[in-house]
Amino acid sequence: MRRFSQRGHLVTLSEINITPLLDLAFVLLIIFIITTPLLEKGLELKLPHAGGQAEKVIKSDIRTVEISNLGYYAYNKQRAPLNTIITRLAAEFRANPNIVVYIRADKDSRYDLLAELIDGCQHNGITRYSLRTDPTPKK
């Protein structure tokens, strides 16, 4: 019987098994897909319907304030009291005078909550704000 030399048949494994890495990548992708909508949840609002064309604004200059029908305020999707929101807006306005405050108020919210926010903005020199509405046509 012929004996084969061990030297000629040595094979080095220079390839990395990527199957476990792909499994990990897919699991992380699924986790991010599931958790991202949960992190972006703001107040549950029913915006009033309206028409019209919005003016073009640089996205980094937009600050969003939401008012719920229960009287809660949220600044950039984080609930906060009104005086804290106005203080933050005033500080950001001093740093960047081009900011625009997007106000998303529920159609069933009280008018005085909206008036207090606008009044606080005006007292701090913020005159560029936009009352956001539901863009879908009314049936």
Q: Is residue 30 part of a domain?
A: no
Q: Is residue 98 part of a domain?
A: yes
For residue 99, give the CATH number of its domain: 3.30.420.270
DSSP SS3 for 126? coil
State how far the Cα of 25 lies from the Cα of 125, in Å rounded to an integer. Answer: 49
State how far the Cα of 62 lies from the Cα of 126, in Å rounded to an integer. Answer: 12
Residue-level pLDDT at 20:
87
Q: Which domain holds residue 63?
A: 59-131
DSSP SS3 for 97? coil
Position 19 pLDDT exceeds 90: no
Biggest alpha carbon–alpha carbon distance for the chain: 100
Q: Is residue 82 part of a domain?
A: yes
Domain count across the chain: 1
- Tell me the pLDDT tens digit for each residue of 78-111: 899 999 999 999 999 999 888 889 888 888 888 8
Higher pLDDT, 50 or 126: 126
Q: Judge if pTM exceeds 0.85.
A: no
Q: Is residue 84 part of a domain?
A: yes
Torsion over CA of 79, 85, 89 and 92, rounded to 10 degrees?
-70
DSSP SS3 for 70? coil
Which H helix or E strand runs over 66? strand 62-67
